[in-house]
């Protein structure tokens, strides 16, 4: 938990310091109250023999009330300070987590899983906030109260003190057992919450597919299993913790009974006869007063132990959550900036891969094997090959979404690992295979990451035209039309065209279209490519495609199969030389067309 201490600010320490002072004051005041009760009881018992001094009663009563009111005010102020502290703390931790997660590479995210990262930024942070608000108060109040209270009663009758100690002992044992039973389960619950979130996310995002395949039952069973697991664990922890409260009441009541019983025995021992009548009565009165005071203190001490128990309920969960949060914060992003000064880079639009091999899991299963490829400035390079042969992986590596284990990738004459990530990625405009739209407007999506005031309206219209986004003109608000999360209010082809427009808007020296044209019908595919060719004359263009028609005219066609390059050449060359290319071509065009 000490690692999270650095998120506490100076002002928080001031708040905490004041709160500690106020809590100690509160304990002082609360422990002061039984002293006045003793005085009042003494008056009450003395009225049995003489008439009492009423102004004294008013004085003690008034002081008692003053203590109660002051203690309440101190409590309210403490709550105010502590709430401010804990809310700010949780905000800072959430911020820090979010910033950290944004630096994660695909591999890092994969290690934690998206759902777990979300639970960690929400649920786990709430646990810490709860501890900061409740736990801190209890942690100071409970021991102060317990120790101070014990000091106050230790001077009184030994038998009473023994009774109180036995009560405390029983409570401590009960709590220890409860904590031992619950601790491992708290850990499990947090993990299961991750799984539950992951399953719920999958079920909700994939609801249409699930319905289409009548797979509701199948998916429900998976969800139910995790849900039941969580419930079972929650049930055990709640039931165990639930036992504590009745045990506590029983112990408290038994203690009162014990104190009174022992008190009566002591009182009985003071013999009253005619000679010492007055003195004996006074003595007995004193014991009754002490008994009442002792009971109050004993109850407060027990309350202090109840508070300690509450800490034991919150603390284990907090420790688990803290660990989970620290795991994220301590993760060093696997892909970090190099130190290359961007101004030193003189070339443009050149990519070179030398003996590159890559595996997603750092094992023997290579997604790419021994790739050698040179892409020159202004070239249009096409990559073709069956699905799963590693085409997308190849461009992901150029942009350093993953680091390669063997070989070297140079962009504009420098190793990709030397670049600052922003400098490297600004050299590429990528249209991803799966068009990814974000909540906002079409314009926001096209000028992604550009400030509203810097958006070039003319350029937006231009790229919309090149990407054949005529459908945007038919929308009521044109490019200002709403896009829902994930772009779910547009068709696959429309999303793909907006994504192409976005890539064109970024206008980098290297433009990559990863299978972006296959979601378009043949005519649109043809139109878009024609316009792109006219507009991107001196850019380096990498087109990944399935259709021979899409890539026929490329300067260089790379034929891939099963993670390696089969052949590189022009359409005509490959038709003669590459068996794989011939097969692809034959499957799409007739012999005559070829």
Query: Which stretches of the chain bind Mg ion, using CB under 5 A?
Result: 392, 433
Choosing among Mg ion, ligand ADP, none, which partner's interface includes residue 389 (Cβ < 5 to 8 Å by kind)? ligand ADP
Residue 169 interacts with, from Mg ion, ligand ADP, none (CB under 5-8 Å by kind): none
Query: From CA 389, how far away is CA 367, in angstroms rounded?
Result: 7
Residue 539's binding partner out of ligand ADP, Mg ion, none, with CB under 5 to 8 Å set by partner kind: none
> What's the CA gap between 490 and 483, in Å, rounded?
8
Shortest Å distance, C-beta 362 to Mg ion: 21
Shortest approach of Mg ion to residue 387 CB, angstroms? Answer: 7
Q: How far is the CB of 349 from ligand ADP (least distance, A)?
A: 22
Decide whether 178 or 351 has the Cβ nearer to ligand ADP. 351
Closer residue to ligand ADP in complex, CB, 184/386: 386
Question: What, of ligand ADP, Mg ion, none, does residue 219 touch, CB below 5 to 8 Å by kind?
Answer: none
Q: CB of residue 569 vs ligand ADP: minimum separation in angstroms? A: 19
Helices (H), 331-409: 391-398
| Dist CA 320 CA 189 (whole Å) | 10
What single-letter DSSP state applies at residue 133?
Answer: I
- Give the CB-nearest residue to Mg ion: 392
Exposure string of 55-69, with b = 16+ CB inside 10 Å and e = fewer, is eeeeebeeebeebee
Q: Which residue, 45 or 392, has its beta carbon nearer to ligand ADP?
A: 392
Nearer Cβ to ligand ADP (136/430): 430
Q: Distance (Å, rounded) from C-alpha 111 to C-alpha 594?
A: 47
DSSP code at position 487? G
| 360 binding partner (options Mg ion, ligand ADP, none; Cβ < 5 to 8 Å by kind) | ligand ADP
Chain CA centroid to CA 568, Å? 46
The item of ligand ADP, Mg ion, none sharing an interface with residue 429, based on CB under 5 to 8 Å by kind, is none
Residue 168 CB neighbours (<10 A) = 19
What is the C-alpha end-to-end distance of the chain, expressed in Å?
69
Instruction: Supply the minimum distance, in Å, between the C-beta of residue 401 and ligand ADP.
Output: 9
The DSSP secondary structure of 538-583, one letter per residue, reads TSEEEEEES-HHHHTT-SEEEEEETTEEEEEE-HHHHHHH-HHHHH
**DSSP states of 394-434:** HHHHHTTSS--SEEEEEETTEEGGGS-HHHHHTTEEEE-SS
**Residues found near ligand ADP in the complex (CB under 6 A):** 360, 367, 387-393
Half-sphere exposure of 173 (CA within 13 A, CB side): 8
Instruction: In angstroms, give the least distance from the CB of 135 to Mg ion.
Output: 50
Cα–Cα distance measured from residue 281 to residue 296, given in angstroms and rounded to the nearest whole number: 23
To Mg ion, the closest distance from the beta carbon of 385 in angstroms equals 10
| Residue with the two structure tokens 């947090």 | 190
- Closer to ligand ADP by Cβ: residue 198 or 280: 198
Q: What does 367 bind: ligand ADP, Mg ion, none (CB cut-off 5 to 8 Å by kind)?
A: ligand ADP
Nearer to ligand ADP among residue 390 and residue 487 (C-beta): 390
CB of 574 to ligand ADP, least distance (A): 18
Cβ nearer to ligand ADP, comparing 240 with 392: 392
CB of residue 566 vs ligand ADP: minimum separation in angstroms? 13
Find which of Mg ion, ligand ADP, none residue 75 binds, CB within 5 to 8 Å per kind.
none
Residue 84 vs residues 135, 175, 571: alpha-carbon distances, Å = 14, 31, 68
Nearer to Mg ion, 318 or 396 (CB): 396
Contact partner, 240, from ligand ADP, Mg ion, none, Cβ < 5-8 Å per class: none
Q: How far is CA 115 from CA 112, 119, 191, 196, 224, in A?
A: 8, 6, 11, 9, 17
Least separation in angstroms between CB 429 and ligand ADP: 18
Residues 6+ apart with CB under 8 A from 35: 293
Cβ pair 196, 227 in contact under 8 A: yes
Residue 397 or residue 483: which is nearer to ligand ADP going by CB? 397
Residue 361 Cβ, how far from ligand ADP at the closest point, in Å?
A: 7
Query: Whose Cβ is closer to ligand ADP: residue 258's or residue 545's?
Result: 545
- Which is nearer to Mg ion, 101 or 398 (by Cβ)? 398
Whether 498 contacts 490, CB under 8 Å: yes
Closest to Mg ion by CB, 141 vs 391, is 391
Binding-site partner at residue 388 among ligand ADP, Mg ion, none, CB < 5 to 8 Å by type:
ligand ADP
Residue 516 in contact with residue 339, Cβ under 8 Å? no
Partner that binds at residue 390, options ligand ADP, Mg ion, none, CB closer than 5 to 8 Å by kind = ligand ADP
**Continuous segment of H or E residues that includes residue 12:** helix 10-46
Nearer to ligand ADP, 298 or 384 (CB): 384
**CA within 13 Å, CB half, 354:** 9
- Least distance from C-beta 127 to ligand ADP, angstroms? 31
Distances in whole angstroms, Cα of residue 21 to Cα of each of 31, 74, 297: 15, 9, 21
* Binder of residue 67, out of Mg ion, ligand ADP, none (CB less than 5 to 8 A by kind): none
Give me the least distance between CB of 556 and ligand ADP, in Å please.
Answer: 18
231 closest CA partner among 180, 192, 281, 179: 192
Q: Which does 233 bind (CB under 5 to 8 A by kind): ligand ADP, Mg ion, none?
A: none
H helix runs in 131-276, sequence order: 136-154, 158-205, 207-212, 216-269
């Amino acid at each position: 938990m000490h690692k999270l201490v650095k998120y506490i600010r100076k002002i928080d320490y001031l708040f905490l310091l004041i709160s500690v002072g106020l809590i100690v004051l509160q304990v002082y005041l609360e422990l002061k109250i039984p002293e006045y009760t003793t005085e009042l009881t003494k008056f009450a018992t003395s009225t049995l023999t003489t008439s009492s001094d009423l102004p004294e009663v008013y004085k003690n009563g008034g002081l008692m009330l003053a203590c109660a009111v002051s203690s309440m005010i101190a409590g309210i102020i403490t709550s105010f300070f502590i709430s401010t502290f804990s809310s700010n703390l949780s905000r800072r931790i959430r911020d820090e987590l979010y910033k950290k997660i944004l630096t994660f590479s695909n591999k890092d995210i994969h290690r934690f899983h998206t759902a777990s990262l979300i639970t960690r930024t929400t649920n786990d942070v709430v646990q810490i906030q709860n501890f900061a608000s409740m736990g801190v108060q209890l942690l100071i109040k409970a021991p102060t109260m317990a120790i101070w209270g014990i000091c106050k009663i230790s001077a009184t009758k030994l038998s009473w003190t023994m009774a109180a100690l036995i009560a405390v002992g029983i409570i401590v044992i009960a709590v220890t057992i409860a904590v031992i039973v619950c601790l491992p389960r708290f850990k499990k619950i947090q993990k299961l919450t991750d799984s539950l979130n992951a399953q719920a996310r999958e079920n909700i995002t994939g609801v249409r597919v699930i319905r289409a395949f009548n797979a509701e039952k199948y998916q429900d069973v998976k969800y139910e299993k995790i849900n039941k697991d969580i419930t079972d664990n929650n049930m055990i922890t709640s039931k165990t913790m639930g036992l504590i409260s009745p045990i506590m009441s029983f112990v408290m009541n038994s203690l009162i009974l014990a104190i009174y019983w022992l008190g009566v025995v002591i009182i009985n021992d003071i013999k009253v006869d005619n000679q010492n009548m007055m003195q004996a009565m006074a003595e007995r009165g004193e014991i009754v007063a002490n008994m009442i005071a002792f009971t109050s203190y004993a109850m407060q001490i027990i309350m202090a132990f109840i508070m300690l128990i509450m800490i034991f309920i919150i603390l284990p969960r907090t420790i688990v959550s803290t660990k989970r949060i620290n795991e994220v914060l301590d993760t060093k992003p696997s892909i970090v900036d190099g130190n290359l000064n961007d101004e030193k880079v003189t070339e443009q639009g050149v990519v070179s891969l030398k003996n590159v091999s890559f595996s997603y899991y750092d094992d023997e299963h290579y997604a790419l094997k021994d790739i050698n490829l040179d892409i020159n400035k202004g070239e249009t390079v096409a990559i073709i090959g069956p699905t799963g042969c590693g085409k997308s992986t190849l461009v992901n590596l150029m942009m350093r979404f993953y680091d390669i284990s063997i070989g070297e990738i140079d962009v504009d004459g420098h190793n990709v690992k030397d670049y600052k990530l922003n400098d490297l990625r600004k050299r590429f405009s990528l249209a991803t295979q799966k068009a990814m739209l974000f909540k906002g407007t079409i314009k926001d999506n096209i000028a992604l990451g550009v400030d509203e005031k810097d958006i070039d309206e003319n350029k937006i219209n231009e790229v919309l035209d090149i990407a054949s986004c005529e459908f945007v003109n038919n929308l009521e608000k044109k490019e200002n039309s709403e896009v829902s999360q994930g772009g779910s209010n547009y068709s696959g082809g429309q999303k793909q065209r907006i994504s192409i427009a976005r890539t064109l808007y970024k206008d980098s020296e290297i433009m990559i279209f990863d299978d972006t044209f296959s979601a378009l019908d043949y005519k649109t595919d043809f139109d878009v490519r024609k316009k792109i060719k006219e507009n991107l004359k001196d850019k380096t263009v990498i087109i990944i495609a399935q259709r021979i028609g899409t890539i026929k005219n490329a300067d260089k066609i790379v034929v891939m199969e099963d993670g390696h390059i089969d052949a590189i050449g022009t359409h005509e060359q490959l038709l003669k030389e590459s068996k794989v290319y011939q097969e692809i071509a034959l499957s799409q065009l007739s012999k005559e067309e070829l």
